Structure 1
Amino acid sequence: MGKTLPPGQFETNKWPILHEGDVYKFQEENWNFKLFGDIKEEITLSYQDVMNLPKTVATIDMHCVTTWSKFDTTFEGIAFREFLNFVELEKDVKYVKIYGYLNGDRFGYSANLPLEALLGDDALFVYKWKDQNHDWQEISPKHGYPLRFIPPASFYLWKGAKWASGIRFMKEDEAGYWEKRGYSMTANPFKEERFS
């Protein structure tokens, strides 16, 4: 079945590397994953806590705002929805911010997303990948090791986060790192929502 390329995109078989700031150097003893915001109680998970969560394997198409699209990359990771089992959301939570390390600041990078879009198999915190040219392998530090959030294909890839470090639950939508710099809050590649 043919895939639909979003407007203004070209298809690539490579997985290009683009990110802000330095490549994060993972040290397990210093790493944790925070769940906070509009929830009854803040939760901090260790690396082992996160890696012990149920695993999901899903094939997700990636669309980067810099105009490349990569179809059919298969990831292994932890579905976003698994983290909902740890928290009691306050009433009217409809958005989240997904955080990642940027130049040593664990909350330096962020991307805002609607909560309801993240409940399927295609919203994954990933650590392994494969495609038609690669067998299973860990994601590299440049790709976001130890944990990278890959958003559903209905969002440009900047809505993901390399070196993922936490989720903040929110009642109101709030601009993340690129959104504050003029990028679209909703970021649908099929509607070419690149800029606000």
Structure 2
Amino acid sequence: MSKIIPPGQIQTEKWPILHQGDVYSFDQETWHFKIFGEVEEEVTLSFDQVMELPKSISTVDMHCVTTWSKFDTTFEGIRFSEFLKLVKIKPDVKYVKLYGYLDGDWFGYSANLPLDALYGDDALFVYRWKDEKHDWKDITPKHGYPLRFIPPASFYLWKGSKWASGIEFLTEDEAGFWEQRGYSMTADPFTEDRFADEDYKPSGFNQRWKQEENNED
């Protein structure tokens, strides 16, 4: 069955590399994952504890705000819902912020998402992948190793976090890293919901994906 590409997107078979800041160098001894916010009790997990959680495999489409779309990439990882089982969230929680490493700050990157969009198999913290041209392989450091959140295809890819480090549960929606810089709070690729102000566009936006398309591991 043919895929529907969102408006303004260009299909690629590659997995382009785009990220903010430096590349995290994995250290298993210091790596940790925190679940906090509007929960009865915060939880902090070691790398081994995270990797002991039940695993899932899901095939997803990725749509980047810089205008590329990649269909049918298969990931292995841990569903968001598995982390949700580890805490008791407080009443009226409707949103989350997903965190990731950025320039030495363990929680420097963040993205906001509605909680009700994250219960399915397509909301996954991933550590390895494959597609038609690649057999199973670990995601690389530039792609977010050892753990990266891939959002459902109903969101632009910036709503995921490379070098994932935590989940914060919220009762009110709260802007993340790119949302604070003019990007959309809701980020629906099928309505070209890229920016909070439709007249806003960062310098060089249209060319960025072309510059990065061949920069793939």
Please, what TM-score do these two structures have when normalized by structure 1?
Answer: 1.00
Correspondences of 1:24-173 after superposition (within 5 Å): 24-173=24-173
Q: Deviations over 1:17-62 (max 9, x none)?
A: 0000000001000000000000000100000110000001000100
CA–CA distance in structure 2, aligned partners of residues 58 and 123 of structure 1: 9
Correspondences of 1:2-17 after superposition (within 5 Å): 2-17=2-17
The residue that corresponds to 2:210 in the other structure is none
Q: Deviations over 1:3-26 (max 9, x none)?
A: 000000000000000000000001
Cα deviation for residue 152 of structure 1 reads 0.1
Q: Does 1:188 align with 2:188?
A: yes
Equivalent position amino acid for 1:86 in 2:
L
CA–CA distance in structure 2, aligned partners of residues 97 and 8 of structure 1: 27
Q: Percent of aligned positions with the same letter in both sequences? A: 72
Q: Deviations over 1:59-85 (max 9, x none)?
A: 010000000000000000000000011
Equivalent position amino acid for 1:127 in 2:
Y
SS at match of 2:29: helix
Equivalent position amino acid for 2:150 in 1:
I
Aligned-pair Cα RMSD in Å:
0.3
Equivalent position amino acid for 2:2 in 1:
G
SS at match of 1:158: helix
Cα deviation for residue 190 of structure 1 reads 0.3
Q: Deviations over 1:128-153 (max 9, x none)?
A: 00000000000000000000000000
CA–CA distance in structure 2, aligned partners of residues 104 and 113 of structure 1: 24
Unaligned runs of 5+ in 1: none
CA–CA distance in structure 1, aligned partners of residues 109 and 115 of structure 2: 18
CA–CA distance in structure 2, aligned partners of residues 87 and 161 of structure 1: 21
CA–CA distance in structure 1, aligned partners of residues 8 and 35 of structure 2: 36
Please, what TM-score do these two structures have when normalized by structure 2?
Answer: 0.90
CA–CA distance in structure 2, aligned partners of residues 97 and 75 of structure 1: 22
Cα deviation for residue 170 of structure 1 reads 0.2
Of the two, which has the highest radius of gyration? 2
Equivalent position amino acid for 1:85 in 2:
K
CA–CA distance in structure 1, aligned partners of residues 46 and 15 of structure 2: 29
